[in-house]
Amino acid sequence: MELVYFLIESIVKVVVVFGVLMGAVAYLTLAERKILGRIQVRYGPTRVGPFGLFQPIADGIKAFFKEDLVPAKAHKALFVAAPMISITAAISLFAVIPFGAVIEFFGRKISLVIADLDIGLLYVFAVASLGEYGVVLGGWSGYNKYGLMGALRAAAQMISYEIALALSVMGVLMISGTLNLVEIVQQQAGGHWNAFYHFQFFPFIFYLICALAEINRTPFDMPEAEAELACGFNIEYSSMKFALFFMAEYAHLIAVCAIATTLFLGGWDGPFHLPPTLSWIWFVAKTGVLVYVFIWQRGTFPRLRYDQIMRFGWKFLLPLTLANIFVTGLIMVVRGQ
């Protein structure tokens, strides 16, 4: 009987998270266009529905009815598989992210996380590293020189920034002493957020920068540099396959923001206490602010050159994140933890 309850609980959680995530992804595309528009002193989409609110639906219908092209010389299987890998990896990240405190439901304790893994953070990195194949294979399999260039850049950039990304969260791991994301959040309860209380503000910034590079967004959108590579890795994609890449990018964006919230900003912990049933509001709010920051900086910074990105990653972020491990250790010793 316990197994049945567990199954029902898991399925409900998965369905809810998936539904909310897909809705958020759809409306994030609209939000990004709106915010970028406002930054450029114009309105974004306003025509479809009130304030353009039905724009994602229109985009979805359009993508669905476009012709689904596969280039004649493409590697068919990998060409089809690449967007699937991307979206699967992006959605799988949400399995370990805790959304709220433990709630009671008909006398049953339910924690608002799909899988409470002991190695949650490692799982995140593992899945993220698998997701890179989507971009790399997508660029390669289309048999297009621009796609190949994008794939090569993606591979090099992601390998480089993955290291700095992993090192930037090392301070948090040292402080909390666990890889379990739920426990990491619980230890930050009561305003002891890692980013501020534990002096992890700079690693937090480094994490955001590396995350930007990992999900290939401006200013690090080398794999799909429109100006030089004509959309790079997704150049040969059309219709739903392109839409899958698109959704994967936005799901990834939400995922890295949610992880940043969990690791550095205290997850569902807020300035004032909410009942456990509503604790997810803080989580959503913080993630939303981070998503806004990502879109905001996209409207601000120009794209870097390829060698600049590499130099920045290896010669600036890597030493500083390494130094942060030392500094965090020093702080922990001084504080006597």
Partner 1 sequence: MRVMTGMWSFIKGIGMVIARAYALAKGLRLTLATFFTRPVTIRYPEHKREVAPRWRGVHYFDCNEKGDTRCVACGLCVAVCPSQCIRLVAVELENGERYPETYEINSVRCIYCGLCAEACPVDAIKLGRGYEFVAHRRQDLVLDKERLLANRPGGAP
Partner 2 sequence: MVEQVFYWIAFIMTSMTALFAAVMVITRSNPISAAMFLVLNFVSVAILYLLLRFPFIAVIQVMIYAGAIMMLVVFVIMLLNVEEEERRKKIAVSLAQVISVVLVLMLCAQLVVGVGIQKIPGKHGAFTAEQLAEVGDVKAVAQMLFTTYLFPFEIASIILLVGIIGAVILSKKER
Nearer to partner 1, 37 or 270 (CB): 37
Nearer to partner 1, 38 or 335 (CB): 38
Cβ contacts of 68 within 8 Å, gap of 6 or more: 238, 239, 240, 241
Answer with the entry of partner 1, partner 2, none that 21 interacts with (C-beta below 5 to 8 A by kind). none
- Cβ 176 to partner 2 shortest distance, Å: 12
| Residue among 6, 64, 301, 326 that touches partner 1 (CB under 8 A) | 301
Cβ contacts of 123 within 8 Å, gap of 6 or more: 95, 96, 117
Answer with the entry of partner 2, partner 1, none that 130 interacts with (C-beta below 5 to 8 A by kind). partner 2
Helix, strand and coil content of the chain, in percent to the nearest 5, comes to: 70, 5, 25
**Both tokens assigned to 262:** 């969990």
Return the number of other C-beta atoms located less than 10 Å from residue 73's C-beta: 10
- Cβ 278 to partner 2 shortest distance, Å: 31
Answer with the entry of partner 2, partner 1, none that 297 interacts with (C-beta below 5 to 8 A by kind). partner 1
Which residues in 36-55 contact partner 1 (CB under 8 A)?
A: 37-43, 46
- Contact of 139 with 232, CB cutoff 8 Å: yes
In angstroms and rounded to an integer, the radius of gyration of the C-alpha atoms of the chain is 20
Answer with the entry of partner 1, partner 2, none that 41 interacts with (C-beta below 5 to 8 A by kind). partner 1
Nearer to partner 1, 30 or 93 (CB): 30
- List contacts with partner 2 (CB under 8 A): 3, 75, 77-78, 117-119, 122-123, 125-130, 132-133, 136-137, 140-141, 148, 151-152, 155-156, 158-159, 162, 179
Distances (CA, A) of 140 to 154, 244, 298: 11, 17, 27
